[in-house]
Amino acid sequence: MQNPQEVQRAAAELTKRLSAGLSAPALPAPSGADEPVGIVLGTGLSGLADKMADARAVPYDALPGFPPSSVASHSGAFLCGRFPARCGEDEGLGRAVIIQQGRCHLYEGRSPAEVCMGVRVMAGLGVRTLIVTNAAGALNPNFDAGSIMCMTDMINHTGVSPLTGLNCDAWGPRFPDMSEPFDPQLRDLAVETACKMGIRLERGVYIGVHGPEMETPAETRLYRQWGADAVGMSTVLEVIAARHLGLRVLGLSCLTNKNRPDCMAPVSLEEVIAAAQTTGRQLGRLIRALVTKL
């Protein structure tokens, strides 16, 4: 079980560091109309942060108890700022965002509580809407590597839950509903926005596995039979923690490789990162456009 005091301490330190030297708070007041949108950026997707106005960064190691990410492609910091409205859209300050740039994973030996700490800290800073991103392998034979998939549903096949142990009633109920892990309105907005921008957006089910080993052909066949369209090693625990807290969630995957059980080919981390960086630029444009509409 995650210690709520530990989350509060990290959230308080993050708030303090984000506001240091500013006359006004770095973040809008929680529960205001302008509450910040939380974004978790996965493998190779960190470019999005460059587009923020007035970005302030707080490295994870400045936050007590916050787990570092040991994956080379994950830079490990919270970034807070605003995405300015795009040209031709209504002016104003733009939307406040908190970006968790890089995450830790079960396969690094981290606990479910550590994996979900970022989401819980962002909720502590007033986030009510969360966009989670990841790199994933396509299982649906109609999906191409290099596409983006909007998650419609998910399968937690990691074997663990971040809600194991005593329930923290202040966060959410003992048996949270998971009939809608991803918010239908956010999904519709993503589809509509992508369509207007000429970005192809697939829709499908994500299966989260423990890793770090990639899937065997038999596993790949099985996951497809279970109804999964994409497979990855993150996200599902974060979505469970977010839904427990009552956040509305949008999930977007960069499909970095194609997994076909009958002609499996080795996939290297370098390929995954390179593909995520390419698709990530498009995903970044989509997220920026979406955020300013929320």
Q: Which residues contact 169 (CB under 8 A, 6 or more apart)?
A: none
Site string for ligand HPA, 96-135 (x = CB under 6 A): ---------------------------------------x
Residue least distant from ligand HPA (Cβ): 137
Cβ nearer to ligand HPA, comparing 109 with 266: 266
Is the torsion defined by CA of 238, 243, 246, 252 positive or negative? Answer: positive
CA dihedral 237, 283, 63, 36 (to 10 degrees): -90
Q: How far is the CB of 195 from ligand HPA (least distance, A)?
A: 25
202: tokens are 């697939």
The distance of closest approach from Cβ of residue 19 to ligand HPA in the complex, given in angstroms and rounded to an integer, is 36
Using the rule CB under 6 A, is 57 a contact of ligand HPA? Answer: no
For the bound state, the minimum distance from the C-beta of residue 236 to ligand HPA, rounded and expressed in Å, comes to 12
**DSSP letter assigned to residue 130:** E
As measured in angstroms, the least distance from the Cβ of 238 to ligand HPA is 15
- CB nearer ligand HPA, residue 256 or residue 277: 256
Q: How far is the CB of 137 from ligand HPA (least distance, A)?
A: 2
Long-range contacts of 280-285 (CB under 8 A, 24+ apart): 280/44, 280/45, 280/47, 280/48, 280/254, 281/47, 282/148, 282/199, 283/45, 283/48, 283/133, 283/148, 283/252, 283/254, 284/45, 284/47, 284/48, 284/51, 285/197, 285/199
The binder of ligand HPA chosen from 45, 113, 249, 272 (CB under 6 A):
272
Q: Measured over all CA atoms, what is the biggest interatomic distance in the chain, rounded to whole angstroms?
A: 61
Binding string, residues 241-270; x marks residues near ligand HPA by CB under 6 A? ---------------xx-x-------x---
Q: Which of residues 166-225 bind ligand HPA (CB under 6 A)?
A: 214-215
- Asked if residue 237 binds ligand HPA (CB under 6 A), the reply is no
Q: Applying CB under 6 A, which part among 44-52, 148-156, 227-235, 244-252 lies near ligand HPA?
A: 227-235
- The residue from 7, 39, 194, 231 that contacts ligand HPA (CB under 6 A) is 231
Q: Count the Cβ atoms, other than its own, within 10 Å of residue 92.
A: 11
Are 50 and 18 in contact by the 8 Å Cβ rule? The answer is no
Q: Is 163 helix (H, G, I), strand (E, B) or coil?
A: coil
- Cα–Cα distance measured from residue 150 to residue 154, given in angstroms and rounded to the nearest whole number: 11
* Residues lying near ligand HPA in the complex (CB under 6 A): 135-137, 214-215, 231-233, 256-257, 259, 267, 272
